[in-house]
Amino acid sequence: MTTLVWFRQDLRTTDNPALFAAADSGSVLPVYIHEDPQQTGDTHPMGGASKWWLHQSLTALKQKLPGLVFLKGDARHLIPKLARDAEVSNVFWNRRYEPHAMERDTEIKAVLKEEGFNGKSFKASLLFEPWELKTRTGGPFKVYSPFWKTAQNLEVPDALPAPEEIRFVECPLSGRLEDFDLLPSSPDWAAGWEDIWKPGEDGALKRLNSFLTTGLPGYGELRNRPDLQNVSRLSPHIHFGEVSPRQVWHETRKRMLSNAETGNDGHKFLSEIAWREFAHHLLYHFPDLPSSNWRSTFDAYPWREEADDLKRWQRGETGYPIVDAGMRELWQTGYMHNRVRMIVASFLVKHLRIHWHHGEAWFRDTLLDADLANNSASWQWVTGSGADAAPYFRIFNPITQARKFDPEGHYVRRWVPALKNLEAPHLFEPFNAPQAALERAGVVLGKTYPLPIVDHAAARQAALDGYASVKAAG
Ligand code: FAD
């Protein structure tokens, strides 16, 4: 019996239920299909950084699965065609939860059934299916704490091993990964990323292991420090399914058991994994999350359409060093630390009063871990328009945030080298530094480093004034 395995965001061989079941029942035809978002109806298509990762990750998967076939086109036509041409009995895949993907999966499953194939999907990229967790009244969760309280008491099944043996069959169609055109060329803005990131299953497992050894101790407190190495940086690996949340869960629990001192840190880390589960739960139950304010009163907010300000934010030229450091880290590495994501996002929607859609789109294009559920839920969370969101009137002060979470200024100095010689108290607010301190550090405001785009106190007040419209609408 032959099974076609359709790979998507599950680019791994271990704990891959679709692949495991296929290998168990006979020979396997593994396929990855690159689709045109215009055909799939994907309103939030993959950005440039994610495409770079995907290329590397598929290259790594091909090394593990030499029979993997790369095809370009519409999966709605290609999957049934392949099933017919290769005379397979089963078509297996692991589930995705983006609204457009679920719609198409249902369509494909129906076509397969009609044609007599056994189309089957599996749970692989979440710990808990969004429909498995319910509030006491039977509805979806809208608040994270009860969601996590319920989730942490549920059993998480063991992760599956990689199939012991995989027998591949010849594919009647052929294509090349290069034809997907995923890599940037001129300019190659991803040059050097191979030195920072190791996409693929082996890189993911290595990173998980090294994080659990060196980053987990202290994670609970130090996860807020962008100048330290206490977060896992697993997010792109998890997004592309190079490691499963089940593997992360059980490996973390093992460490917690073997070293009781990491108990609280491990618990905190798993609670972050649960934020990802919560974001997917929200996306499944509220499929408009990426496009509409979850709290519709925010439709009344008087957003500014200021292309120049947006560009300065994107380029890291706001004149607020912690914001600029974050935006430059993002551009140069495809990653930004969570604390800094919150600061820069708050700055865009509150200090600049620019709609979160613009921030979501920029993050989607530049983040290696760009993820529809996490990105939309997080942007709405920061804005205050989302489920269980931070209140709008709590406006991050980018100066005090930097002092608190980058106390020695290592993070800012690394990403904004023009300020590297400025002493710590002035480093986070060069526009308030005495002229002599600026001169000693070789900083000329407006030349070597930008003047601030807005005045913090005035911007804060304007944001609060705008919020009055939201309150009035409620
Ligand atoms: P760790 O602290 O090591 O966390 C481990 C894992 O838990 C992460 O890899 C991620 O899978 C999950 N996780 C952690 N925090 C969150 C969170 N707040 N929400 C959901 N999952 C979380 N995360 C994405 O994966 N993709 C995105 O597109 C994305 N966009 C964001 C946009 C904004 C405005 C903000 C504030 C946050 C966003 N996040 C996003 C959430 C979070 O910042 C990242 O998951 C985290 O920084 C990734 O780094 P890490 O793997 O080192 O995290």
According to the 3-state scheme, what is the secondary structure of 176-240?
A: CHHHHCCCCCCCCCCCCHHHHCCCCHHHHHHHHHHHHHHHCCCHHHHCCCCCCCCCCCCHHHHHC
Residue-level pLDDT at 474: 82
Asked if residue 392 has pLDDT above 90, the reply is no
Q: What's the token pair of residue 186?
A: 């001129």
User: Are 9 and 204 spatial neighbours (Cβ–Cβ below 8 Å)?
Assistant: no
Q: Give the model's confidence band at 174: pLDDT under 50 very low, under 70 low, under 90 confident, else very high.
A: confident
User: Are 148 and 274 spatial neighbours (Cβ–Cβ below 8 Å)?
Assistant: yes
CA of 275 to the centre of ligand 1 (A): 8
Query: Does the Cβ of 223 fall within 6 Å of ligand 1?
Result: yes
Q: Give the model's confidence band at 335: pLDDT under 50 very low, under 70 low, under 90 confident, else very high.
A: very high
User: Are 107 and 18 spatial neighbours (Cβ–Cβ below 8 Å)?
Assistant: no
Nearest CA to ligand 1 atom 21: 276
Residue-level pLDDT at 260: 85
Strand partners, 319: none
Closest CA to 264 of 332, 223, 225, 217: 217
Amino acid at 317: E
pLDDT in tens, 369-391: 999 999 999 999 999 999 887 88
ipTM of the complex as predicted = 0.99
The angle, 0 to 180 degrees and rounded to 10, between the axes of the packed helices 398-405 and 338-346 is: 170
Please state the φ and ψ torsions of residue 251, each to the nearest 5 degrees.
-65, -40
Q: Give the model's confidence band at 173: pLDDT under 50 very low, under 70 low, under 90 confident, else very high.
A: confident
Residue 279 gets the label, from left (phi > 0), alpha (psi -120 to 50) or beta, of alpha
CA of 9 to the centre of ligand 1 (A): 17
Atom of ligand 1 nearest to the CA of 345: 34
Q: Examine residue 187 and say whether the peptide bond preceding it is cis (omega within 30 degrees of 0).
A: yes
Q: What's the token pair of residue 302?
A: 């008087």
In sequence order, what are the residues at sequence separation of 6 or more whose Cβ sits closer than 8 angstroms to the Cβ of residue 315?
327, 331
Residue-level pLDDT at 389: 78
Query: Does the Cβ of 238 fall within 6 Å of ligand 1?
Result: yes
Task: Give the pLDDT mean for 306-326.
Answer: 98
Residues 253, 245: Cα–Cα separation, whole Å: 12
Residues 160, 246: Cα–Cα separation, whole Å: 9
* DSSP secondary structure of 438-463: HHHHT--BTTTBPPPSS-HHHHHHHH
In sequence order, what are the residues at sequence separation of 6 or more whose Cβ sits closer than 8 angstroms to the Cβ of residue 465?
none
User: Are 329 and 340 spatial neighbours (Cβ–Cβ below 8 Å)?
Assistant: yes
Residue 107: how many CB atoms within 10 A of its CB? Answer: 12
Asked if residue 185 has pLDDT above 90, the reply is no
Nearest CA to ligand 1 atom 33: 378
Task: Give the pLDDT mean for 86-94.
Answer: 97
Residue-level pLDDT at 322: 98
Share of the chain above pLDDT 70, in %: 100
Query: Does the Cβ of 367 fall within 6 Å of ligand 1?
Result: yes
Residue-level pLDDT at 416: 98
Amino acid at 160: L
Query: Does the Cβ of 7 fall within 6 Å of ligand 1?
Result: no
Q: Is 356 noted as a catalytic residue in this protein?
A: yes
